[in-house]
Structures are given as structure tokens and as C-alpha cells.
Structure 1
């Protein structure tokens, strides 16, 4: 036994001894050795050599390339680490600088640039249509973008609209914007016309996107990569439907165990991070095969990926944490089935679908299909042109916890055609619309919910699964209900078209279980039900103050007054078994669920305070971002 232990230790020591660190610098040379003294010039050169246990350290500068790794790691202990050097800013861009703009005589704010098609290599986003299942627009959009000082212009759909642009009022530009571009592509040249307003593009930083991604392995199954500390931007990413290969600016490829952390991800045409599926199981089937409708196509895709090894041993289990993701026009984070068993936390996601030039059924701060046992917590998501968090199909075992959601145009949280169990707890939901669902078997616990609530029926057959597994147990339409609501704070509003509080569930087909909720300012319990305390005269007027990177929750009512409302500690025994799937409410590791921590990680008392905060002072102002965990 002693000999075996010594042998193992020697092997591990030898393994770490032979691990290499490659260095990359803008002053380097890809023909060099890649050590500190003679670094490589491109990250992709190092990515062709890195093996399990190796580190690729990238030094300050701008790298305009697509990183396409050759190898993955072996295990969590034998990763390949890609990192920005400590304290150094490393930008990885899907764009190229362009100069030589010529001013047009017809309109002095319009400039023209003619580029040879060879400038784009084998991919020209100005000739690539934005395309895919459930993309909605009556115009032809392209994957390209033009950037002036790191701000993308709007795409125009005729040359006339460059000379005489409409004033576009959007989430990103509420006062209006007339900076637009239009392109014409022939056999040899790409001609770009752009209205830069009063700016001279030759005197500013002007860039055009040329690459479909910044970090994406074309090979499947490259597991256990870590990507840390980079600034990714300006990729011409394609629309990523759940029935398609999903390639974002940073994208896994049907693999397991990536860690994507501490990055800044900005200005993607469609998606920031994708944890999605591969192409062979289906690629935009709704658009390309009218034999079946979209629901049946996706059901076929589910069985295709199961045959390709969709299970916890092979796919998912990613960690996405502490990233800043903004200005992506489809999602900040998305993934179809490849995000199962993952953990997504500490991310700041904002300005998604902010330009609002096209729409679709796949747009949100976070949009996941098949988020089985996925844990999404302690994220800040705001200013989305659609949903904040959208859990679509197969979110069995998912937990949405302690997120700060506000100023989203659609609901902060939407669960679509999911069969439980799933848990939504400790969230602060402050948009005008808070929660939508056409599901069964959910539990909402200790949330603040100030917006409208919208339950829906749905007659699509969707799968439910064996416990903590991707394996399909059965298919069923949604019988709306079988939900649990405990210890929430509901605040009413003024929109007469919305329902505030539990009254939204009056017509649920299956029972709703609720107790110890507070209903303020006109929010109501279900009709003729006692589901907590009704405080119609109390209007806390909850709102946020943003001070730099800090966010404070402000109330007209002393928050300490809420401490007088005590509920019961919630655990798996009280939540019971879901009616359809027949499963208990458990943590991702299979242990029984207990609601024992609040929004800040403070331990809950035996009779906890209603709402997300267990410990409240007499103040009317409480810091809710960045989180200071207890």
C-alpha cells in the first residue's frame, strides 16, 4: 500500500513537472519557443500546442483572431488554462481596424469605404445573412457590424436610409440615434456606407467585424478548459436557435467542464457566451424542413443528442462566473442542452437586445434549453429588450436564486413548458413584469416580486426526465399549476392589464400551495384564499439607486418593518412531490432541498423573515450589488 501511494505521488509530481506555460505577446513570433523570453505572437498558436495541465498566459495588447484550440484537458485537476497576465488588459477581437474612409458629397456625415473581399478571408459577414429558427424580422439582417469607438452602429436596409436616416430610439439610445451603415457586396469588393454623424472615422477608432467567433473549438469534446480575465468583443456571431449549432463570441462545443470567469464580453452581433449543442443533431430545422412543426423538430433533436451522449458524464457541468456581458443582440448567455448541470453566477448582464432591430423567440439575458440541474444565482441582469432569465423546455431540477433583475422589457423570469421540480428563491424582481410560466411543479420562495405575474396554458408535449438525469421519463402537455409559493413579498402596481400577486393563479388547473406571503399595495392572494398577510395600505415603493458599480435597494418603508413578518422554514418535506414527474425538491447533488440561506448567504432562523433578507436594519436603503456574502 505504501509503495502504491508513493508511486501515485511520484506520477502526480512528474505530471505537474512536465506541465508547460506558453506566453503570448503582441511583440512575439509564432516561430518562437513560446516561453517568457521568446513568446508567440498569436494565442491560437499556443492553442495548437497546449496539452492537459498546460497554461497559456497572454500579455497586454489587442489580438484580432479566432482561437480554435486543438486539445482539451483531462479532468478538473488537469485543465488547460487560458489566462490574461495578472494586471494586464488583453483584448481579443472579432474585428479589424479600417481606415481610408471617403466623405460622400451628397451628405457630409456619410462616408464610403471599399474593401477587397480578400480582406475578409473565407468569411464575409457583410454577405452573411442573420438566419435561423425563430428569428423574426421582415428585413434581411447581416451578421456584420461597424464600430465607432467601440459602439456599434445600426444596420440600415437601403442606401437612402444612410443619407436620410431615421432617428432610432432604443434601450441603448433612448434619446435617438442616426449612426447607421449599409453594405453592398459584389464579386470582388465590399462597399460600406456609414453615417458617423459629426465624427471623422479616419480620426477615430473605426472597426468592422470579420470573424464569426473569438474562442470556439471546431472539434467537439474538448473538455476542461478555463478562460480567465480577457476582454472579448466585436464578433459577427450568427443567430443561435436551440435547433442549431450555437456559436457565440465565447462558445463551448458539446463538451464538459469549462470554466469561463472574470471576462468582459461585449458587442456580439448575437450571443456573448454559448453553452450549446453541435450541428449534426440538427441545424435550423424549422427553417429548412417544413415537413414538421418546430415542436416536433425539437423533440427529434432531443433524441438525436441523447444518441450522441447527452448525459452528465459527457456534456455540461460548466461554470460561468463573474463576467461582465453587455451589448449582445440575442443573449448574454445561451445554450441548448449543453448547459445542463452547470453553475452560472456572479455575472453582470445588461443591454441585451438593446438596439432592438430584430426579434425572436430566443432572446434574453440568459436563455437555456435543457437546463437540467442548472444553478443560476447571484447575477445582476437588467436592460434586456426581452426576458431577464428564460428557462425553456426541460428545466427540471433548475434553481434560480438570489438574482437582481430590473428594467427588463419582458418578465424578469420566464419558465416555458417545463415540468418540475424547479425552484425560484431569494430573487429581487423589480421590472414591470416579474414572472411568467406555462409549467407545472415550481416553487417560488422568499422572493420580492413587484411586477405582473402571468400563468399560461400550453398544449405542446414536452419531456420530463428521470431524477438528475437527461434520460426521458415521459412526455406530457402542461397542466398549469402544482406550484408552491411561500414567504414571498408581492407588491402591486398600476397597470390594469396585469395581475399582481397570487390572484393570477385563480384559474390554475392543478392546486396551488401558498402560505406566509405579504401582499402590499394592491397585490392580492388567490380569491377566497388566505395565503399570508394583505397590507393594501402599505406601498414600499421599492426602487434601485445605481452609484457607480454599486446598486442599492431603496424603500419608502423602513425595511426593519418587514422583519415582523415571519414565515416557516421551507424544506423538501414541506414542498412534497411534484404531481407529474413524481419527484422531490432536491439540490443538484441529490440532497434534500432546505431554504436555509438568504440573498446574502445569511443563515435563516427557524421562523425566517419573509422575503429575501433575513437580517434587516432600520434603514430604508440596502446594498444589493456587488454582493458581500456573509
Structure 2
């Protein structure tokens, strides 16, 4: 018999857990709820890390944790700190015994791990004033005269960029930890911390099982915040503020998730398959350990039957230092949609090669669609084994970069997206299909011959082989490319010199001596047709059907009006003269290395017959993601 447990701030953990006699903590309910049960949490602030002890048994017999309807429920990884003592010049201090933190003191742990590139001694701790996180200084002296930063270095581009929140940068903290105590100093400026809400994060997560294999859990309707999550590379344990911890079938929906020191939602790996061995042992590169982690994962059950198949939907995720969503291996066969992800990695207190709104490795058959990304260091980064992955109908704007696909062999689909960053696309992969997108910004296209990565049997985690990334084997149909002043590399001209069919490629390779060496010398085929190029964007030299107007500026703008977002652009009079055919499994050539077709996760044919707004498309329709685009002025609601 399914049971409803209730949790409320006026409850007791020795009560029955009924609506009339609720539990006090969510963890009490989490210790006894079993398959089919529902835990209803009533209004209030809960400072705990929820550790579900039992699994659901199937998609229909899951354990649900849900905020009571119409009630605001907040779960925090922080504690409210009082009794601050003023020292000098608006600097206050508080001293806490190390026992206050238990086994995990984030103020004593530096940000560390594989692919951390820049960290000037910063820690996992954080201080919050009325919900706003502070900046950690490198010395006590810097607290006394903090300069308001107006610019910071973007470590990806080595360019100086404006600070996201200049007011926030003047609020700073510094900590000293000895054998017995942790002393935190903070510059509160005009605020008295004993009269305001001041919090420090003390827990690694707020909803994360200690054990693996806790399947079929739903987490719905909460505000989840302020966790001291560690750096989460693909070669380490990857705890998030919330996550399934190497389990199957979680649903994370309708939540507001924010202020994770590193990653908010993790659908990634666990510790037995490797934990920062390259940084700790220094005997092999992270690349080698990442390959090993794939095989270790297979030994501990990395399969569709055991992990993945998560749903992450309708969440708002913001103010995180590394990722909104992260995952390696455990993200397989998942669906991520209708999420609003913003303000990711903009504080720039530290930097490494694992930062994005969504950063996934081995996202086999994962579907990422209808999400909104803005004000992120990078929108989506799909790295290694991007196979069967579909990135569709997403909105990107005001990001430093929008999309990065790296060292993967496909097949993967990028369709009906709106990408608007000056640096719109990093394509360091092969075997992709880019269909019906707006791409306003440059593309960096690279081959990667020194890092062969795995590919798989279709719709499986079983490894079928390894391949270097030769570049090419890409398909570009029905896209709108838009350049801008001082932007180079917009469009498809960087494929000039590539072969244009598999037959031509094979014939050309035959002319070269040797075995694998011959394939290094010949550019893979590309399939490019029926795209539009405006305002300096340039086309592949062998594209037959296209619109190319180098001097026409569509004046594309993304306009926010409250919770709604609009696309504004102007298109030339002959825009509707070139129509694009609906692309599908039948029309998209199979990828060369993996020898696989573009299919849906169930192995069925895929047909790209609905536009960005979900409207059914005609057999032939205008180029770009929205079927209703027309010549002249366009003003289209694209979110909200």
C-alpha cells in the first residue's frame, strides 16, 4: 500500500509522519519511504542533505519527494551564522570550532582536480549576505580595501570581459583554518551581519544519496541552494547539489536550483571508476584515465539497465561556479528539456576545462531540447562519445560561447536551435548533422588526431572501437548563418577543400599510399546545401543551392520582456525563394567511422518535421528554425 509521508517545521521525527503529526526532517521520511510512497514537504527552510535510503522499483513505482502545493520549500546546504564581531573597516569575523562542520569543512578544502587550470588558492566554502554570494580573497589584506572589479579575464579566449555583477565583487571573505577552529573574515560594507541573513555553506550537497543504485526517485517543486560541491571532472566522483549518484530513472522537475560552488545537478559517475588520479598520482594524463574510466564503468554495470534514463525538466538553474548540469557516463539515455540555465561560471574565481551550462561526457542517446541558456561562460559542451545525442530547439544568447562538441564521432543532431554568441560554435568533432539552425557568430573547426576516443554500438554502452577526430563527415542543411563586424569564420567556408561525397572520399584515399596514414591526408566528406549566408558569412565552395548576401544585415536581436523572450530580425525579399526539405534518417548520410544512421533513441527513424516552436512543417519550408519566418521584419516570441 502506497503511503504519504508529511514533513513540516512544526513536526517531530518521533511522530508518525502523517499530515496531522508530521516529521520534522526530510531525512526521516527518506529513511523509511519505499517504492510507491510520496514524501510531501510543507513550507519552510530545511537545512539538511537529503539521503534517500530506498529505491523506487520502476517508472510507475517510484518514490516522490514533493513540495506541498502552493507552499515554498527551501532545502539549503548552508547554515545561518550569527555572533559576528567587527574588526576594522567594515571587516567582521566569526570563529567556529571545526567540529561545527563535522567531516566536511569546505573552508579547509581547495578547489582541486583534473583539468583545473587556474585556482589562486580558493576553497569550496562560500559566504552569503541575504542570498548573494561573496568573492574569496587571496589574503586578509585584500579584505580591507577591496576594489570594485569592472573587468576580468575570460580564460577561454584570453580576452578581458566586463564583470557580470560589479556590486557583488566588493563583498569579499577570507578564512583561516587551524587544528581546532575555522575563522571567517568578511567585508560587509554598510551591512551589519548580525542584523541580516548571513549564511555559509557547510554541506557538499542538499539532495544526494550516499549509496549508488537508488533508482526511480522524483524530486519536484523545491528551491535547492547553497552547497559546497567539489570540482567535477569526468575522471572523478561527480557529486552535485542534487543528483542520483550512479542510479537510474530519476526525475528532477519544477525546481529552482542555485548557488552550487561547482555543479548544480549531477547525472555523472561515481568514485570507484576513478577519482582525480591524474592530479593525485601525476603518472598519466587525464585523457588516459578517462579512457580507463569507460572500461571500469562497464565492469560495474554501465548499461541502460542500471544507470541513466533520467529526466531533468522545467527547472531554473543559476549562479553556479562550474556547471548547471554535469555528467559523465551516468547521463546516458536521459532527457533534459524546458530548463532555464543562466549565470554559470561568471564569477571566474577559478577556471578549468569542464565549465558550461550543461557539460556532458558520453551522452549516448541523450536528448537536450527546448532549454534557454544565457549569461553563461559556455552554453552546452558535449564532450566524448556524443553518439545518438540530439541538441534541438534550444535558445542561446549573451553567452561567451554557445555550443561546443568535442572529440566525438557521431552520429549526433543539432537542429532548430538559435545560437547568437559572437563565438557560436566549437566543432572539434565529426559525424554531426546541423539542420535548420540560426547561427549568428563564428565557428572554430578543428581536427583532433592525437586523442582517439571511444565509439559504441548504436544505442548501447558497449564499446565498438576508437577513432581520432579527422574533422568533417558533417552535414549542414537549411541553416541561416549571420556574420557581424570583426567576426571571422562565420558560415561553412572553412570546409573548402573537403570532399563532397563518400564515393569521392574513397576514391581520393585510394590514391594515397599506406594504411591509416592515407586517411590523415584526405579531408572527410561534408554534405552542405540549402543554407543562407548574411552579413559577411561565407559558404562552402561546392554548395549548390544557397542564399548568399554578404552585405545584408538581418539586425538579429534577442529581446527580453519580463519572462518572455522575442527574436527580432529582418530578412531579404528573396528569403522565401529557397526552401529547405525536411531532413530525416533517410536523407542524412550515415556517419563514416561509426557506420551508423541518425536515429531516435529507440532505433527508429527520426524526422525533423517540427520547428523551434513545435509547429508542424510543410514538406518544404523556409530556412532556419522557425517555419513562420518571412521576408521583411520578423518579431517572434521564442520563450515564455
TM-score, scaled to structure 2: 0.92
Given the alignment of the two structures, is residue 589 of structure 1 paired with residue 602 of structure 2, yes or no?
yes
Which of the residues 132, 138, 145 maps onto 1:157?
138
Q: Cα distance, 1:528 vs. partner?
A: 5.3
What's 1:389 paired with? 380
Report the 3-state secondary structure (helix = DSSP H, G, I; strand = E; otherwise coil) of the residue aligned with 1:305. Answer: helix
Report the 3-state secondary structure (helix = DSSP H, G, I; strand = E; otherwise coil) of the residue aligned with 1:620. Answer: strand
Residues 104, 31 of structure 1: alpha-carbon distance in 2 compared, 3 angstrom cutoff:
same
**Is this contact kept in 1: 2:367–2:390, CA < 8 A?**
yes
What's 1:463 paired with? 454
Q: Cα distance, 1:616 vs. partner?
A: 3.6
Given the alignment of the two structures, is residue 512 of structure 1 paired with residue 526 of structure 2, yes or no?
yes
Q: Cα distance, 1:414 vs. partner?
A: 0.7
**Is this contact kept in 2: 1:525–1:531, CA < 8 A?**
no
Given the alignment of the two structures, is residue 327 of structure 1 paired with residue 327 of structure 2, yes or no?
no
Counterpart-to-counterpart distance in 2, 1:507 and 1:300: 36
What's 2:81 paired with? 98
**Is this contact kept in 1: 2:570–2:633, CA < 8 A?**
no
Report the 3-state secondary structure (helix = DSSP H, G, I; strand = E; otherwise coil) of the residue aligned with 1:573. Answer: coil
Report the 3-state secondary structure (helix = DSSP H, G, I; strand = E; otherwise coil) of the residue aligned with 1:300. Answer: helix
Deviation track 1:505-534 (CA, whole Å, cap 9, x = no partner) reads: 225521111111000111010235435111
Report the 3-state secondary structure (helix = DSSP H, G, I; strand = E; otherwise coil) of the residue aligned with 2:100. Answer: helix
Which of the residues 601, 614, 617 maps onto 2:614?
601
**Is this contact kept in 2: 1:514–1:531, CA < 8 A?**
no
Counterpart-to-counterpart distance in 2, 1:104 and 1:563: 69
What's 1:541 paired with? 555
Counterpart-to-counterpart distance in 2, 1:561 and 1:177: 49
Counterpart-to-counterpart distance in 2, 1:352 and 1:507: 38
Question: What is the 5 A alignment of 1:519-598?
Answer: 519-527=533-541, 529-557=543-571, 562-598=575-611
Question: What is the 5 A alignment of 1:61-460?
Answer: 61-105=44-88, 107=89, 109-169=90-150, 171-174=163-166, 177-385=169-377, 387-410=378-401, 412-459=402-449, 460=451
What's 2:504 paired with? none
Counterpart-to-counterpart distance in 1, 2:244 and 2:163: 29
Report the 3-state secondary structure (helix = DSSP H, G, I; strand = E; otherwise coil) of the residue aligned with 1:462. Answer: strand
**Is this contact kept in 2: 1:171–1:383, CA < 8 A?**
no
**Is this contact kept in 2: 1:345–1:377, CA < 8 A?**
yes
Given the alignment of the two structures, is residue 491 of structure 1 paired with residue 504 of structure 2, yes or no?
no
Q: Cα distance, 1:537 vs. partner?
A: 3.0
Q: Flag structure 2 segments of 5+ consecutive residues without an equivalent.
A: 151-161, 499-522
Which of the residues 3, 10, 16 maps onto 1:27?
10
Counterpart-to-counterpart distance in 1, 2:173 and 2:544: 58
What's 1:614 paired with? 627
Report the 3-state secondary structure (helix = DSSP H, G, I; strand = E; otherwise coil) of the residue aligned with 1:70. Answer: coil
Report the 3-state secondary structure (helix = DSSP H, G, I; strand = E; otherwise coil) of the residue aligned with 2:586. Answer: helix
Q: Cα distance, 1:175 vs. partner?
A: 6.2
Instruction: Choose 151-160 or 613-622, whichever is displaced more.
Output: 613-622
**Is this contact kept in 2: 1:479–1:510, CA < 8 A?**
yes
**Is this contact kept in 2: 1:465–1:474, CA < 8 A?**
yes
Given the alignment of the two structures, is residue 478 of structure 1 paired with residue 491 of structure 2, yes or no?
no
What's 1:13 paired with? none
Counterpart-to-counterpart distance in 2, 1:492 and 1:554: 16
Deviation track 1:397-437 (CA, whole Å, cap 9, x = no partner) reads: 10000000011113x11110011100000000011111111
Q: Cα distance, 1:286 vs. partner?
A: 1.5
**Is this contact kept in 1: 2:534–2:551, CA < 8 A?**
yes
Counterpart-to-counterpart distance in 2, 1:344 and 1:563: 33
**Is this contact kept in 2: 1:602–1:615, CA < 8 A?**
no
Residues 127, 511 of structure 1: alpha-carbon distance in 2 compared, 3 angstrom cutoff:
same
Residues 342, 138 of structure 1: alpha-carbon distance in 2 compared, 3 angstrom cutoff:
closer
What's 1:502 paired with? 492
Q: Flag structure 1 segments of 5+ consecutive residues without an equivalent.
A: 1-17
What's 1:3 paired with? none
Residues 97, 537 of structure 1: alpha-carbon distance in 2 compared, 3 angstrom cutoff:
same
The runs of at least 4 consecutive aligned structure 1 residues that moved more than 6 Å come to none
Counterpart-to-counterpart distance in 1, 2:43 and 2:404: 40
Counterpart-to-counterpart distance in 1, 2:170 and 2:76: 25
**Is this contact kept in 2: 1:24–1:41, CA < 8 A?**
yes
**Is this contact kept in 1: 2:47–2:79, CA < 8 A?**
yes
Report the 3-state secondary structure (helix = DSSP H, G, I; strand = E; otherwise coil) of the residue aligned with 2:580. Answer: coil
TM-score, scaled to structure 1: 0.94
Q: CA RMSD in A?
A: 1.4
